[in-house]
Amino acid sequence: MNSDAIGVFDSGIGGLTVVKELKELLPNENIIYFGDTARVPYGTRSKETIIKYANQDINFLKNHKVKMIIAACGTVSSVLGANAPVKEIPFTGVLLPAVQTACGITRKGRIGVIATPATIRSGSYGRAIRTIKPDIFVAGSACPLFVPLVENGFFGKDNEVARLVAKQYLAPIIAENVDTLILGCTHYPLLEDIIADIMGEGVSLVSAGKEAAKHASAILTERELLNDGKEKGTCEFYVTDSPEMFAENAKIFLGYPIDGEVHKVDIDALQ
């Protein structure tokens, strides 16, 4: 038994969808979440800046008792690729678990990827997919408005604004006749109903956050690092901007209000 926490970080609040999946899969695990809300979004930053911010986020978590770190940020995961910046404890992003699942379920060998501009620009999903299956066709589409839409509450299945934007973003993916679509940003599961409706029944959706949580569960099980205690695990939350705003928006992603205090971290201490 290992009662140390799972450390999860994101550029903002979207990584809470990974926390939600972890709590459903591993209810006994303690979780420490770090959201760099003062510098969100990472998706429009340069590669050098994204790596700098990611290393600062990781170092913050390593100052706590964590037994694993999850980069619950599609942009960070795409920039890092298979280059894990942490060696002493298990580490995973959201990219590789999603790619492995997508390659396993595609029927026609045609996979679509929707993500932030930085993720699509990096081409990391295509490279990772072709490492597993070189002959697979990959189509990518950047969706820069999806994150602000979700964070401003525009994501219900019947929301006309979100649907209009989604139709435009998904049109080039649909035109490529994909049978599998990776949701490459942890905000996107909140738009899953709209995306699924537009893509149609013949397209399987793969949530990068959900697959990362499954992958983390498998790693902790394999390495015998699970918390086998009978008590429900706790969640600690740290942010670099307004704790009140984070707590207010968190219930959108978690499906329930945060129980407990959200701690503010001095962003200058991360430099």
Bridge partners (DSSP) of residue 113 are 140, 182
Q: Which of 73, 103, 143, 235 is catalytic?
A: 73
CB atoms within 10 A of CB 98: 27
Rounded to whole angstroms, the Cα distance separating 194 from 212 reads 22
223, amino acid identity: R
Q: Where are the alpha helices (DSSP H) in the chain?
A: 16-25, 47-62, 74-80, 95-105, 117-122, 124-132, 146-151, 160-175, 192-199, 208-222, 243-254
d(Cα 173, Cα 178) in Å, to the nearest integer? 7
Distance (Å, whole) CA 125 – CA 99? 7
Length of the chain: 271
Distance of CA 14 to the CA centre of its chain: 7
Q: How far apart are the first and last CA of the chain?
A: 35
Measured N-to-C along each axis, helices 208-222 and 95-105 cross at an angle, to the nearest 10 degrees, of 100
Rounded Cα distance between 166 and 233, Å, is: 36
Degrees, nearest 5: CA angle 107-108-111: 95
Q: Which of 103, 143, 185, 235 is the catalytic position?
A: 185
Active site residue 143: no
235 labelled catalytic: no
Are 185 and 120 contacting, i.e. CB atoms less than 8 angstroms apart?
A: no
* Residues known to be catalytic: 73, 185
